[in-house]
Amino acid sequence: MTRSLKDRFADLQAERERTWSAEQLSRNAAQRRVLVERHDPFAFPQRGEEIAPFTLIDQNGAPVTRDELLADGPAALVFFRFGGCPACNVALPYYNETLLPELRRQGVKFVAVSAQVPVDPELASRHALGFPVTGDPDYALARRLNITFFPEEQPPVPEGEPWIGRTLGTFSYEIDQPAVLVLDRNARVLFFDASPDWLHRTESETILAALQDQKESSIPDG
């Protein structure tokens, strides 16, 4: 039986409770709690809204435009934090296993997106991902979707020291909340779900159920 994303995250949290200090656990939980408290579902794109043209960057640095993604039909975009994010390394293989095969069957393209540019070259190979991983330069698309945030703690970092801004290539503390965006071939929103708590992300069955609902009550053209 395929394990849910929730169960897989429970394993990750259990491991952290065994290995992290009480202070680490508290700070991590506090940041997620703040984001949940601030979450406003009406601040995000709504069903039927058109998403203006955008350009992502693939693993080789080549542009991937909105219209290219939608040339043959709908597309699903899964936003994640960054290549080394432990929770993302749980979520992306889960989507590869449980979501990608059905999206392929339905003719829906699938792309993962983060603010990290250049794209982490090891992420796709580490999990044998069957979908492309792309970067969103300057947070352009993520900001338009209103899914970026700044952590409560933004300590100064000595030059040359590792920190999230250097990892992302943005040299900013700004980071994406996980989210799922499904567009029809006319760039209109079929489904959108943002996850302020990055340990509670959209399950594949929720995405697939939403797509089925859209088929049964499709958005009329024009």
19 pLDDT more than 80: yes
Flag whether 66 is in a domain. yes
Counting residues of the chain whose pLDDT is more than 90, the rounded percentage is: 90
Flag whether 156 is in a domain. yes
Structure confidence at residue 136 as a pLDDT band (50, 70, 90): very high
Per-residue pLDDT tens over the stretch 178-220: 999 999 999 999 999 999 999 999 999 999 999 988 776 665 5
Round to whole Å and give the CA distance between 101 and 207.
Answer: 13
Q: What's the rounded mean pLDDT across residues 125-146?
A: 97
Residues spanned by the domain of 120: 5-216
Flag whether 222 is in a domain. no
CATH code for position 120 = 3.40.30.10
Q: Which residue has the higher pLDDT, 2 or 68?
A: 68
Flag whether 59 is in a domain. yes
Flag whether 137 is in a domain. yes
Structure confidence at residue 41 as a pLDDT band (50, 70, 90): very high
**What is the per-residue pLDDT for 218?**
60
Flag whether 221 is in a domain. no
**What is the per-residue pLDDT for 203?**
98
**What is the per-residue pLDDT for 220?**
54
Token readout for 213 is 């609902």
The chain-wide mean pLDDT, for the chain, equals 95
**What is the per-residue pLDDT for 95?**
98
Flag whether 69 is in a domain. yes
Model pTM score? 0.94
DSSP 85-148: -TTHHHHHHHHHHHTHHHHHHHT-EEEEEES-SS--TTHHHHHT-SS-EEE-GGGHHHHHHT-E
Helix (H) or strand (E) run with residue 16 in it: helix 5-19
221 pLDDT more than 70: no
Per-residue pLDDT tens over the stretch 48-72: 999 999 999 999 999 999 999 999 9
The total domain count for the chain is 1
